[in-house]
């Protein structure tokens, strides 16, 4: 029995019409068992992060306002989907919101024993996925689908590295297979849907964990790997993998196919279409990844799989705004050597700061990282203990795979280049 794995992101379920469209896509696959992974609705992850920040800042007024916006958004979608105001979905969504409200109230009252930011992030932001799947599940059942909901926190087991939890693959595979395979077997493999959350999991203490920002793609890959699926489909608001982000580049081209290797490279450099951890389990199990448009479900999209030979002549652009370039030099004017690099990377790792680009000379070492208003000041203070520091904010990083002179000129014309690095297939340029 082959189980299809579908992942629908926040843009696909950002309102009632979006959820109806998801149901129409599922009607195309009524003969197949489907494991369906759902993200938080629309931009709700951002909204929950704002709520969390007000909570951590002990700002009850702003916290209440943020909570009310979240509540109103979800309840409006429920009202738009369900004509019957007594439908159980209203009680369930309100119950989840009440649970969240209770958690916030308790944390506000006992703030002196509040755990750290990363732990609180996972406990609070995860409600976006819990509410989203509750609404979608009830709508699919109401629409006649044979749909059962499963809590991802009872299926994906991780360590306690909050906000970037590591999967316990052995335990997770056993739990997923023992829970989901009997569900699909009971239905004889015909048209049943198992619906669950992306992004969230749980540690051995049953505390909620998350798999990293935009981690729902990775969740789907975990399920595809553990269920031995042949293919997985990510449904996006674009017609497939494009050679540039349409938010920043005009007339991007769809790439009909990609090799696993190229997809990993793109994800590593920050292409927003695929979460960086997604490809490895798919490649390991030779699972084909399809990236398709939920707006044009009949169109081909992009196929990502193993190719003996895969060539491309189209430059692929990856743009990362809001970057910080940090340059470090030893205080005694000595060379940057292996001992320095080891110390610097240990500091970066301990503060969970990912390096997007790096370069060193005899007496300096430079790194380009994402701007994080919470992490950056702390990181700089620690680095200053051993190094002279210079840094620039408000920069952009362009990465071009399969670059040409024309493609480089396209992104650098009229901009100041602060750092540049080339290899055979890739160029990275930090610009002001």
Tens-place pLDDT, residues 276-302: 899 999 999 999 999 999 999 999 999
Residues 12 and 132 in one domain: yes
H runs (alpha helix) in 115-215: 117-125, 127-142, 169-186
> Phi/psi of residue 64, each to 5°?
-65, -45
Looking at residue 352, the DSSP 8-state letter turns out to be T
pLDDT at 31: 84
Residues 46 and 189 in one domain: yes
The order of strands in the sheet holding 426-431 is 355-360, 365-370, 316-330, 387-401, 426-431, 417-422
CA 11 vs. chain centroid, Å, equals: 13
Cα–Cα dist 221/280, whole Å: 9
Here the CATH number for the domain that contains residue 25 is 3.40.1160.10
Closest CA to 111 of 55, 61, 187: 55
State the CB neighbour count (10 A cutoff) for residue 101: 14
Question: pLDDT tens-digit profile of 100-145?
Answer: 999 999 876 666 666 899 999 999 999 999 999 999 999 999 999 9
- Which of 174, 194, 229 is where one domain is finished? 229
Range of the domain at 402: 316-431
Cα–Cα dist 263/414, whole Å: 30
Q: Is residue 99 part of a domain?
A: yes
357 pairs with which residues across the strands?
A: 368
User: Between these two residues, 272 and 32, which has the higher pLDDT value?
Assistant: 32
State the CB neighbour count (10 A cutoff) for residue 387: 21
Torsional class of 413: left (φ above 0), alpha (ψ -120 to 50), beta (otherwise)? beta
Looking at residue 385, the DSSP 8-state letter turns out to be T
- Which of 174, 195, 229 is where one domain is finished? 229
Cα–Cα dist 315/317, whole Å: 6
Q: Is residue 397 part of a domain?
A: yes
- Which of 179, 212, 229 is where one domain is finished? 229
Residues 329 and 223 in one domain: no
Question: pLDDT tens-digit profile of 177-200?
Answer: 999 999 888 866 667 999 999 999
Cα–Cα dist 193/282, whole Å: 21
Q: Is residue 79 part of a domain?
A: yes
Q: How far apart are the first and last CA of the chain?
A: 54
SS3 247: coil
Number of domains in the chain: 2
Residues 85 and 201 in one domain: yes
Q: Is residue 364 part of a domain?
A: yes
pLDDT at 418: 96
Q: Retrieve residue 336's tokens.
A: 């940057």
Q: Retrieve residue 98's tokens.
A: 């009440």
Q: In the predicted model, what is the mean pLDDT of residues 140-165?
A: 96
Here the CATH number for the domain that contains residue 348 is 3.30.2130.10
Residue holding tokens 């499963």?
150
């Amino acid at each position: 029995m082959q189980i299809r794995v579908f992942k629908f992101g926040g843009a696909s379920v950002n309102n009632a019409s979006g959820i109806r469209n998801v149901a129409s896509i599922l009607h195309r696959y009524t003969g197949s068992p489907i494991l369906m992974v759902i993200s938080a609705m629309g931009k709700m992850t951002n909204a929950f992060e704002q709520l969390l920040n007000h909570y951590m800042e002990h700002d009850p007024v702003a916290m209440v306002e943020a909570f009310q916006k979240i509540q109103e958004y979800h309840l409006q979608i429920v009202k738009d989907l369900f004509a019957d105001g007594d439908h159980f979905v209203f009680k369930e969504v309100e119950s989840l919101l009440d649970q969240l409200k209770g958690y916030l109230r308790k944390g506000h009252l006992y703030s002196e024993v509040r755990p750290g930011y990363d732990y609180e992030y996972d406990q609070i932001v995860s409600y976006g996925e819990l509410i989203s799947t509750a609404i979608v599940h009830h709508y699919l059942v109401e629409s006649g689908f044979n749909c059962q909901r499963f809590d991802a926190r009872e299926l994906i087991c991780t360590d306690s590295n909050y906000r970037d939890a590591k999967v316990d693959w052995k335990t997770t595979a056993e739990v997923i297979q023992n829970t989901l395979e009997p569900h699909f077997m009971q239905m004889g493999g015909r048209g049943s849907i198992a619906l669950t959350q992306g992004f969230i999991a749980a540690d051995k203490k049953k505390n909620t964990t998350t798999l990293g920002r935009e981690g729902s793609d990775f969740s789907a890959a975990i399920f595809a790997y553990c269920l031995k699926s042949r293919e997985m489909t990510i449904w996006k608001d674009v017609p497939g993998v494009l050679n540039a982000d349409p938010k920043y580049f005009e007339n991007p081209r769809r790439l009909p196919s990609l090799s696993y290797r190229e997809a990993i490279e793109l994800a590593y450099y920050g292409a927003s279409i695929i979460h960086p951890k997604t490809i490895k389990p798919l490649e390991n199990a030779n699972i084909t990844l399809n990236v398709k448009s939920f707006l044009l479900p009949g169109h081909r999209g992009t196929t990502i799989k193993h190719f003996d030979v895969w060539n491309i002549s189209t430059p692929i652009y990856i743009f990362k705004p809001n970057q910080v370039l940090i340059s470090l030099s030893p205080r005694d004017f000595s060379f940057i050597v292996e001992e320095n690099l080891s110390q610097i990377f240990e500091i970066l790792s301990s503060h969970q700061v990912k390096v997007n680009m790096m370069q060193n000379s005899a007496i300096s070492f430079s790194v380009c990282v994402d701007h994080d208003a919470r992490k950056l000041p702390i990181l700089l203070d620690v680095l200053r203990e051993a190094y002279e520091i210079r840094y620039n904010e408000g920069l952009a990083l362009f990465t071009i795979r399969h670059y040409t002179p024309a493609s480089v000129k396209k992104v650098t014309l009229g901009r100041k280049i602060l750092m540049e690095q080339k290899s055979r297939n890739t160029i990275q340029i930090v610009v002001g």
